[in-house]
Chains A and B, each alone.
Chain A
């Protein structure tokens, strides 16, 4: 009897080793980038609107309740606690913070304020108005910034008011990017901004800003703003009547409100600036927030010179690469890191090359469940297997990877899913995906060092968003890409030599190692309802594929209502289809973020999802007698 345990023990080890050799461990984002949560004292509502790192290792944050906290020991070396000191208070919804030469600069709703501690007691006692501007009193007139440029001038962005649509004329320069010079004077730079919560001045001195889906904005996007640009939302055009306006007098009637793609509208309207990168709604994020260029010189991983773009609603960071084609910025976005605790509004580099992420979700729905939070994103030194950059070529794209690819998986055509699409440019809120077409793969060239793959495509279309998905590609260890998709905004097609597609040496049949995920459908739990048979597993695959799960969950409120709550409305399947294609946000007044029309999702898929939603309702269709008979 005594021998048996040993035998069993050995057997287990061998089987695990065998397993490990055949199937590598599924790696996830946290294996490379760790999210570290800073503890916040119980009595502080740290609803972060701005983050500013200080050269001495402390961290400043400002909050929507108008406080500025200075946090000592925010890196928590050796597991120690951070210490919070209230530096300033009483500001009005402070949504941006910067630190320079011993003072904080904070953007309130109606004022850019310089905060200085003149008596060295650790608290600001001088609140100087660097610049102030008019407000109408509309809550949506948020003001963001400042971001310093190299001259020491500061940029601010001003939301338009919300009156059922974005309105700029209620107060001067709403819907504009403005520059505040050192003497406090205000210079209007560009308009067309709707809800510009995040922007940056990059290492070239260029201003990039992120926009939220809404009226005139089909999807989230990042746009390079130069003097005199019009970025798309018509609300701010009112102020082009002013003599200081860098745009000539323009009204909403001059804007081609046709529902055709923005690049078509831009042909008719010279000042209309195309975004450098579209962030497809729900496929990437739902509410673009802060962005930050990787200037850490490798301390944050292999993405130096690239950008991290946050999404407030989905509590996550995305990655963005830019290149200049025909003198204009354009590029691609990629998933990067999910799972933050609240709405990720603000990000700033720490002194050690980690990133502080300031968060808030009060009144602004977010996937992260906390009302507010402060976290730090830290690279742990391992290089994830990623598409490092996707760049445009005259006949397709070139993907550069962070690790050598397995040649046979890279040369296999079925490793890729390629197509392109775009959004409508219109005064209505959001847009469905339109004009989606495949971009057939004509050839693949893998570089000598296997770090690059050139894709030669048919049907590449100028102005369109091109999906480059490479789910079949593996590295030498047999691991798939950590993120298999990117979206490239092809405003310009570069000139240059066309690729010479070699005679194909590899057969298109997948090798043994190549497994294209999610193609096989297993029979899942089946529920019988009168509308038909509903397969829960199949529906889950559809929900994921069409990115529904980005905003909805079965039982819990995320950005939108839970499916169980939707079921309670007793919509017919056809009505659900109608609402998915043409949402009526007024049906859900308690939710901050409007749903975008999802009319690109095939009808059959929506009806399957709708039938499943309605099975959730059937479980609890019971009249509450207590409620009916409740009397005084």
Chain B
């Protein structure tokens, strides 16, 4: 569906779980139980949308009676989670059959032109692994290096599944579980273990994992197993109090569901951390923070949330337009919850990454490499001025970022386009340059750049468009530099340059 720019998407829009359909409900009420996406994450026509679906099919017994509902575990559209753990009570409208355990995967394209590419799918079968009840021994009163101080267990017996809950203290205990499990087919199996403290996992006498770990330090080990019965031993011991008891061991065959040796409640729940959301308001909202840009932590970033629902992040150190997004504004949890140790803020919508480079440079020729960064001596950040600027949606205070660059006074201004289909970046410069070389602007950079219409380019595998405004004397240069495509504009004789970024 082309739901681009739609403010309130419904259950028939891009990213929605389509409704069910029943004519018996009466005219106008046939559709029911649909789910609109949490927010509109659809990109402009002609750009690629990226959709990731984690779906669990319904299950049925031998008589065909439904045991469990179908469920969308997670649906992510263009990096935005639009659904999580939603059960479908029945088949959605347009499904090709009634509800069945396994059916073809269907794509439908009857609402205008649509293109699909790069399907990647994995089908997970039920694991069909069975587990015997476990024999357990429980030691208390201290433990050093997998050896309990007391040589006889405080308790022993049989339980359905191993669990850390058997320990009644936080420290100084050791639990040992032994049992068998039956795998339905020969193949390579992956064992994943998580625990707070010391643990060991042994399969058929072969110790796969042994050591001191914290819960998040997941250990993965693989082992070839033949069809049939196998034995396991899990030892879990803890000699400190400052983390909760927690133990989990999983087994998984490629392309089958993950199964747990251990009881679900054996791992503690994560601490509840509330979302701290910075919302847009009736004027432009600005917020400085640290920002993760790829793997880099940028420390002097400002993000602007605009009432039109378009937002951007800007690196004040380098005068670079880092990224732009549409949707909700900013997740400030990592900055404003508790001490906020990461001090980062994250965009909450569909992000397109632009550039971390200052857009102006003096180059010897149009073949010279555009610099990656500019030193503080050459580029001085002077602050920003809030200026009232008119756009279709109203008059708001937009920041003019101010720089001194090699003798030039630069103002960098970003405003939304009239239909909120993108932003206009407007760079003004004045003053006497200290350089004798010509000035260029870097407008876009990516793995590929293709002109899709007059003065309109699709950038970086059709992630976004840029619209440029060349003149008779200042023509756009599309060039390759350092293995990347770049759009450059010579600025001889100009006092400003503008381009649109549309997505």
Provide the residues of chain B in CB contact with A362, threshold 8 Å. 336, 338-339
Provide the residues of chain A in CB contact with B338, threshold 8 Å. 362-363
Provide the residues of chain B in CB contact with A110, threshold 8 Å. 299-300
Known contacts: A65-B336, A90-B285, A632-B264. The answer to whether A139 contacts B342 by CB under 8 A is yes
Provide the residues of chain B in CB contact with A520, threshold 8 Å. none
Give the residues from 32 to 79 in chain B that come closer than 8 angstroms, CB to CB, to chain A: none
Check if A90 sits within 8 Å of B299, measured CB to CB.
no
A64 and B286 CA atoms in complex are apart in Å by 15
Check if B265 sits within 8 Å of A93, measured CB to CB.
no
* Residue B383 at the chain A interface, CB threshold 8 Å: yes
Check if B342 sits within 8 Å of A113, measured CB to CB.
no
Check if A93 sits within 8 Å of B343, measured CB to CB.
yes
Provide the residues of chain A in CB contact with B385, threshold 8 Å. 125-127
Q: Which of A294-302, A449-457, A546-554, A585-593 lies at the interface?
A: A585-593
- How many positions in chain A have a CB within 8 Å of any CB in the partner chain? 43
* Residue A619 at the chain B interface, CB threshold 8 Å: no
Interface SS of chain A: loop
Give the residues from 546 to 595 in chain A that come closer than 8 angstroms, CB to CB, to chain B: 569-570, 584, 586-589, 592
* Residue A19 at the chain B interface, CB threshold 8 Å: no
Q: Which of A145-153, A348-356, A434-442, A622-630 lies at the interface?
A: A622-630
* Residue A245 at the chain B interface, CB threshold 8 Å: no
Provide the residues of chain B in CB contact with A584, threshold 8 Å. 242
Provide the residues of chain A in CB contact with B285, threshold 8 Å. 89-90
Check if B299 sits within 8 Å of A135, measured CB to CB.
yes
Check if A109 sits within 8 Å of B299, measured CB to CB.
yes
Give the residues from 346 to 382 in chain B that come closer than 8 angstroms, CB to CB, to chain A: 381-382
Check if B241 sits within 8 Å of A623, measured CB to CB.
no
A139 and B242 CA atoms in complex are apart in Å by 23
Provide the residues of chain B in CB contact with A108, threshold 8 Å. 288
Name the CB-closest residue of B to A585: B242
Q: B316 to chain A: closest CB distance in Å?
A: 8
Provide the residues of chain A in CB contact with B383, threshold 8 Å. 113-114, 126-129
- How many positions in chain B have a CB within 8 Å of any CB in the partner chain? 43
Check if B384 sits within 8 Å of A631, measured CB to CB.
no
Provide the residues of chain A in CB contact with B397, threshold 8 Å. 125
* Residue A137 at the chain B interface, CB threshold 8 Å: yes
A108 and B302 CA atoms in complex are apart in Å by 12
A90 and B338 CA atoms in complex are apart in Å by 19
Complex partner residue of B340 from A124, A363, A628, A631, CB under 8 angstroms: A363
Complex partner residue of A364 from B241, B263, B339, B387, CB under 8 angstroms: B339
Check if A587 sits within 8 Å of B241, measured CB to CB.
yes
* Residue A66 at the chain B interface, CB threshold 8 Å: yes
* Residue B297 at the chain A interface, CB threshold 8 Å: yes
A362 and B336 CA atoms in complex are apart in Å by 9
Check if B165 sits within 8 Å of A627, measured CB to CB.
yes
Known contacts: A110-B299, A110-B300, A135-B299. The answer to whether A587 contacts B240 by CB under 8 A is yes
Provide the residues of chain B in CB contact with A587, threshold 8 Å. 240-242
Of the candidates B263, B289, B316, B343, the one having the most CB atoms from chain A within 10 angstroms of its own CB is B343
Give the residues from 288 to 304 in chain B that come closer than 8 angstroms, CB to CB, to chain A: 288-290, 297, 299-300, 302
Q: A7 to chain B: closest CB distance in Å?
A: 64
* Residue B287 at the chain A interface, CB threshold 8 Å: yes
B109-127 interface bits toward A, Cβ cutoff 8 Å, 1 = contact, 0 = none: 0000000000000000000
Q: B173 to chain A: closest CB distance in Å?
A: 11
Provide the residues of chain A in CB contact with B101, threshold 8 Å. none
A135 and B291 CA atoms in complex are apart in Å by 13
Check if A137 sits within 8 Å of B300, measured CB to CB.
no
Provide the residues of chain B in CB contact with A128, threshold 8 Å. 382-383
Name the CB-closest residue of A to B317: A132
Known contacts: A587-B240, A588-B242. The answer to whether A92 contacts B381 by CB under 8 A is no
B398-412 interface bits toward A, Cβ cutoff 8 Å, 1 = contact, 0 = none: 010000000000000
Check if B288 sits within 8 Å of A66, measured CB to CB.
yes
A165 and B477 CA atoms in complex are apart in Å by 51
A72-91 interface bits toward B, Cβ cutoff 8 Å, 1 = contact, 0 = none: 00000000000000000111
Provide the residues of chain A in CB contact with B384, threshold 8 Å. 127
Q: A94 to chain B: closest CB distance in Å?
A: 10
Provide the residues of chain A in CB contact with B242, threshold 8 Å. 584, 586-589
Complex partner residue of A592 from B243, B335, B339, CB under 8 angstroms: B339
Provide the residues of chain A in CB contact with B240, threshold 8 Å. 587
* Residue A395 at the chain B interface, CB threshold 8 Å: no
Provide the residues of chain B in CB contact with A127, threshold 8 Å. 383-386, 399
A486 and B240 CA atoms in complex are apart in Å by 40
Provide the residues of chain A in CB contact with B342, threshold 8 Å. 139
Give the residues from 87 to 136 in chain A that come closer than 8 angstroms, CB to CB, to chain B: 89-93, 108-111, 113-114, 124-129, 132, 134-136
A89 and B332 CA atoms in complex are apart in Å by 14
Q: A621 to chain B: closest CB distance in Å?
A: 9
* Residue B437 at the chain A interface, CB threshold 8 Å: no
Name the CB-closest residue of B to A108: B288
Check if A136 sits within 8 Å of B339, measured CB to CB.
no
Provide the residues of chain A in CB contact with B387, threshold 8 Å. 125
Provide the residues of chain A in CB contact with B336, threshold 8 Å. 64-65, 362
Check if A129 sits within 8 Å of B290, measured CB to CB.
no
Complex partner residue of B263 from A64, A91, A114, A631, CB under 8 angstroms: A631
Known contacts: A587-B240, A589-B242, A623-B168. The answer to whether A631 contacts B289 by CB under 8 A is no
Complex partner residue of A139 from B163, B169, B340, CB under 8 angstroms: B340
* Residue B170 at the chain A interface, CB threshold 8 Å: yes
Provide the residues of chain B in CB contact with A623, threshold 8 Å. 168
A87 and B169 CA atoms in complex are apart in Å by 53
Check if B286 sits within 8 Å of A137, measured CB to CB.
no
Complex partner residue of A111 from B243, B300, B386, CB under 8 angstroms: B300
Check if A363 sits within 8 Å of B382, measured CB to CB.
no
Check if A90 sits within 8 Å of B263, measured CB to CB.
no
Of the candidates B163, B290, B383, the one having the most CB atoms from chain A within 10 angstroms of its own CB is B383
A38-66 interface bits toward B, Cβ cutoff 8 Å, 1 = contact, 0 = none: 00000000000000000000000000111
A357-396 interface bits toward B, Cβ cutoff 8 Å, 1 = contact, 0 = none: 0000011100000000000000000000000000000000
* Residue B341 at the chain A interface, CB threshold 8 Å: yes
Check if B265 sits within 8 Å of A66, measured CB to CB.
no
Q: A68 to chain B: closest CB distance in Å?
A: 13
Provide the residues of chain B in CB contact with A631, threshold 8 Å. 263-265
A580 and B167 CA atoms in complex are apart in Å by 27
Give the residues from 257 to 307 in chain B that come closer than 8 angstroms, CB to CB, to chain A: 263-265, 285-290, 297, 299-300, 302
Check if A66 sits within 8 Å of B287, measured CB to CB.
yes
Q: A424 to chain B: closest CB distance in Å?
A: 26
A589 and B166 CA atoms in complex are apart in Å by 24
Known contacts: A93-B343, A631-B263. The answer to whether A129 contacts B381 by CB under 8 A is yes
A214 and B316 CA atoms in complex are apart in Å by 33
Check if B241 sits within 8 Å of A137, measured CB to CB.
no
A630 and B240 CA atoms in complex are apart in Å by 24
Give the residues from 329 to 354 in chain A that come closer than 8 angstroms, CB to CB, to chain B: none
A132 and B402 CA atoms in complex are apart in Å by 14
Known contacts: A111-B300, A587-B242. The answer to whether A92 contacts B386 by CB under 8 A is no
B410-440 interface bits toward A, Cβ cutoff 8 Å, 1 = contact, 0 = none: 0000000000000000000000000000000
Check if B288 sits within 8 Å of A90, measured CB to CB.
yes
Complex partner residue of B265 from A109, A592, A630, CB under 8 angstroms: A630
Name the CB-closest residue of B to A627: B165
A114 and B402 CA atoms in complex are apart in Å by 14
Check if B265 sits within 8 Å of A89, measured CB to CB.
no
Complex partner residue of A90 from B168, B286, B381, CB under 8 angstroms: B286
Complex A-B: 12 CB contacts under 8 Å: A65-B336, A91-B288, A92-B288, A92-B343, A93-B335, A129-B382, A137-B290, A139-B341, A362-B338, A570-B169, A584-B242, A631-B265
> Apart from A362-B339, A569-B171, A587-B242, what 17 extra A-B contacts exist at CB < 8 Å?
A64-B336, A90-B285, A90-B286, A109-B288, A109-B343, A110-B299, A114-B383, A125-B386, A126-B385, A129-B381, A139-B340, A139-B343, A362-B338, A364-B339, A587-B241, A628-B166, A630-B265
Q: Nearest 9 pairs between A and B by C-beta?
A: A363-B339, A90-B286, A128-B383, A92-B288, A137-B297, A135-B299, A125-B386, A587-B242, A363-B338
